[in-house]
Amino acid sequence: MSFVLGLTGSIGMGKSTTAKLFAEAGCDVWDADAAVHRLYEAGGAAVEPLRAVFPDAIRDGAVSRDALKQIIGQDPQALKRIEQIVHPLVGLDRAEFRKSATSDILVFDIPLLFETGGNLAVDAVACVSVPPEVQEQRVLARGTMTRDQFLQISDKQLPDAEKRAQSDYVIITDTIDHARRQVHDIIAKIREGLALA
């Protein structure tokens, strides 16, 4: 039986980098965003179910995220319908990963872990965090969104302080070396617990 660690954190907090650190340390990592990409690409499991409800969202045989954003912008109810189609497929992808994973610690990288109740399906939660000004700097430095877009996304996410309060572990991602040390400490603690179980 593997230990399942949920990894979460708001946009720009360093979650993807931290997930890589867990993978480097020998943990099997499942990435929710990557799963959605697989479902949306040509031949992906979400293409035909979404085509049936939102034909305009399909471009060149794949789901267009830009088209979905436009649809959601025009119809606030659309997001719920999209989630009803996509969430079960993401769950199936995660179940398949779980079956094939071999590590003693599995890391589920899920941005909206608390928001979707995913924290109830893991053994412990690790939350990545940095001060808000560092978070904003990182996101805007990517050059992929405006400050308004960043604030819109932030507003939809559970506040960082609440995520930290509900988590078993908090990883401060101010530097890569500091994050790596914390990842190794968490793995050591989990393995210690597994050895005692």
Domains of the chain, earliest start first: 1-27+104-197 (3.40.50.300), 33-102 (3.40.50.300)
Q: What is the mean pLDDT of the chain?
A: 94
> What average pLDDT does the segment 74-82 reach?
90
pLDDT at position 153 = 85
Whether 27 contacts 107, CB under 8 Å: yes
Alpha-carbon separation of residue 73 from 5, 67, 69 (angstroms): 34, 10, 6
Alpha-carbon gap, residue 102 to 2, rounded angstroms? 8
Q: pTM for the complete prediction?
A: 0.90
**Residue-wise pLDDT tens digits, 84-125:** 999 999 999 999 999 999 999 999 999 989 988 999 999 999
> What average pLDDT does the segment 4-10 reach?
97
